[in-house]
Chains A and B, each alone.
Chain A
Amino acid sequence: MSEVQKDKAARKDKKTSRVPSEGSHGVKHTAGKTKDSLSNVSCIEEHHDALVVTLENTYQMGPRKRFPTPAILAILKDVLPSYLEEEKYEVEWSRQMSKTLCEVIRARMKELMIRRYKIVVLVHIGQLAGQSMQISSRCLWDPATDTFASWSFKNTSLYCVASVYAVYFE
């Protein structure tokens, strides 16, 4: 603002007296004439030492591509029999195998490269001993974007139920 006023004052001075006056408005006038009116303040570059990643807003309202449920089923149908066919239930082995299956299924889901989806994998391995059981689940989510799939496998000594939930990260 002050620069604009200075420029106006300089122009007025030019109209009234053609000789550049150094006496009356000397300081301002010479400042307006000799130096550029553009600011010479260069952009200050701040060097960020901390590993802070600031993400820009994507303005994305929903997923570009919904998580394909048939792909999840295909992964489960492929993984469960390949790891559990011809296996026998043993306590330590099934504990390790349930963790392994979880990790394998999660890795295969990540390979699908569907962006902005969080994944939850649940695997139950149980011994076949004539008992009855019920597994149920309920979810509080957005049914337009989130999905799940489950598959069960059985052989002579064990059964396995795997459930995968894919939740969109808004």
Chain B
Amino acid sequence: MDEGGEDESIETTIGTSSYQHFRVNQWSTTIVEQCLSQLCKLGKPFKYIVTCVIMQNNGAGLQTASSCYWDNATDGNCAIKWENKSMCCIVSVFGLAV
């Protein structure tokens, strides 16, 4: 459910576009806010952190890692990678139980 929501936000925002530096700020804000509003609608007692990385595709490498100090039984995360010819987008969601 979570991954579907993230994919949908990315597709609707940047699905058909190519990388434009002056628009990328607005795109990343839109993606993150859409994800967050959909998570809000789930109505669960969680605090959410949504991160979006949009990078121009020119062959450069990128490594991302995360480390969390939380309760494994109740908290979790999810990361989605989306790509087209000109850019790639990584959205990660962390959910922490209240």
**Distance A57 CA – B69 CA, assembled complex (angstroms):** 23
Residues of chain B at interface, number, CB under 8 A: 43
* With contact pairs A102-B65, A120-B94 given, residues A133 and B54 touching in the complex (Cβ less than 8 Å): yes
Contacts of B94 in A (CB 8 A): 120, 165
- Contact for B56 among A110, A132, A135, A163, CB less than 8 A: A132
The verdict on B73 contacting chain A, using a C-beta distance below 8 Å, is no
Whether the Cβ atoms of B55 and A131 lie closer than 8 Å is: yes
Size category of the binding interface on chain A: 35 or more
Whether the Cβ atoms of A106 and B55 lie closer than 8 Å is: no
- Contact for A136 among B32, B39, B69, CB less than 8 A: B32
* With contact pairs A121-B66, A125-B63 given, residues A139 and B53 touching in the complex (Cβ less than 8 Å): no
Shortest distance in angstroms between B66's beta carbon and chain A's nearest beta carbon? 5
* With contact pairs A126-B55, A131-B60, A134-B54 given, residues A105 and B32 touching in the complex (Cβ less than 8 Å): no
- Contact for A134 among B24, B49, B58, B62, CB less than 8 A: B24
Whether the Cβ atoms of B51 and A137 lie closer than 8 Å is: yes
Whether the Cβ atoms of A134 and B53 lie closer than 8 Å is: yes
B contacts, CB < 8 Å to A: 19, 21, 24-25, 27-29, 32-33, 35-36, 39-40, 47-71, 75, 92, 94, 96, 98
A contacts, CB < 8 Å to B: 89, 91, 94-95, 97-99, 101-103, 105-106, 109-110, 118-142, 146, 163, 165, 167, 169-170
